[in-house]
Amino acid sequence: MTVVYLNGSFVPYEKAMVPVEDRGFLFADGIYEVIRVYGGKPFALQDHMLRLARSAELMELPFATSPAHLKEKALEALEQSGLKEATIYIQVTRGFAGPRVHDWPKDPQPTELILVRAYESAPKESITLASVPDQRWELCHIKSIGLYLNTRARMEARRRGKDDGLFVRDGIVTEASSSNFFAVHRGTLYTHPEDHRILPGITRRYVIRLAQDLGIPVKEEPFTYEWVLNADEAFITGTTSEVTPAVGLDHQPIGGGQPGPITLRLKEAYRELVRG
């Protein structure tokens, strides 16, 4: 059962409504998180709530309640749903403040939404990527609901017969349209450093820890598009994509076009972690 919590109340999905001039709708003035539920237990919920709070701080976005309250209501919504495999979506916007104006309201009325629904799909066994120019804003470390260029990258990749877009900025690979990106070269795992050009992924963080536990060297440093074409392996990480091998970029295979051994070790280790 899908469960909706909106501005202090649990409401039927079909009756959940926000004002037409909510700033999230008009300006994409809001933030969000997606949490994966395995066997009835949300994975890394506290990590997601901390990132939500950090995004709010960076956007100077107030809460109507608090991250702790939203965490409590998210768990309550999950319990009401009765779902064992699910996603929890949390969104906070600056809310409704009267007629549309660019100025931030002096007395905001933030909108807080929690949506719990069944998760019935599964990560793909492998994907192919298409490079796209990274034209996003310089605050990619904020998990903002303004995702036009992310969705555009995904659709551009689909038009080119690939599964997802891989952002490239000034020759440097940053991340995929909704996931972080890793590549393996001579036994070492590489990923873009955690800065304003990428989202500080929760899954990314856990995969780095797993790699270190497995004795796999990890380097967080920039690398070029051409370097990725010569990588031995590659994969993306995300809440719903988990660890998904990337076996091709544009018209060239990566690692012979097959998932590599380090990728598969990390994929299995992550599966064990979340199911544990």
> So which residues are the catalytic ones?
143
- Phi and psi at residue 255, to the nearest 5°: 60, 40
127 bridge partner residues: 246
The gap between the terminal CA atoms of the chain, to the nearest Å, is 24
Quote the CA–CA distance of 67 and 47 in Å, as a whole number: 11
Non-local (6+) Cβ contacts of 256 within 8 A are: none
Quote the CA–CA distance of 251 and 160 in Å, as a whole number: 10
State the amino acid at position 87 in one-letter form. T
Taking CA 7 as the corner, what is the angle to CA 4 and CA 9, rounded to the nearest 5 degrees? 55
The 10 Å CB-count burial string (b at 16+, else e) for 85-114 is ebbbbbbbbbbbbeeeeeeeeeebbbbbbb
Quote the CA–CA distance of 238 and 274 in Å, as a whole number: 13
